[in-house]
Amino acid sequence: MSDSEQTMSPGEARLRADLAGEAFMVGLQAEKWRNPLLEWPVLRIHVAVGDREFVRMRLLVDGYPSRAPGGQLWDDSSNSPQPVGKWPTGGTAGKVFRPDWSPPNQNAPYLPCDRAGLSTHPDWAHAIPDRAWNAARTIDFYLDEIYGELTDARLPTERAA
């Protein structure tokens, strides 16, 4: 056993196994998500928006799987949260990435699978169990929830100054 395997937390080991699992790979092959980069306890990954675009998400995964991932839209170029003006729009994206709720909650998606959503709405775990995070869930469940909300969305177009 290598030193890194000996010092790996159970949560990190479980996440690494889930990232190598069939359900996650099916999502990769279907281009629902791509380019996963795990630097424990942070997972960065692109999630599909609409037909041909992708948005980067940064997921805090400490405590996985007991604790829900904590996601936010991320700008790799500035290594900071994505500005609101660059968030996906259309479809249900505005109900999930809400300018009135998400910024004070680490730009989190307003969903019962996200740790910020569950911490601000603890009743969601019982009221919406089919969409809420629990310790039996895997990372592909979380990503599928995000993907489903962004399927009919689009990214804002860049305008020349």
78 three-state secondary structure: coil
pTM: 0.93
- Lookup: tokens for 140: 């592909």
Q: What pLDDT is recorded for position 138?
A: 98
For 24-75, what is each residue's pLDDT tens digit?
999 999 999 999 999 999 999 999 999 889 999 999 999 999 999 999 999 9
87 three-state secondary structure: coil
The domain ranges of the chain are: 3-150
If one counts every other C-beta atom within 10 angstroms of the C-beta of residue 136, the result is 7
* Whole-number Cα distances in Å, 95 to 8, 18, 55, 158: 37, 28, 17, 22
- Lookup: tokens for 141: 């469940």
Backbone phi and psi for residue 44, each to the nearest 5 degrees, phi listed first: -110, 140
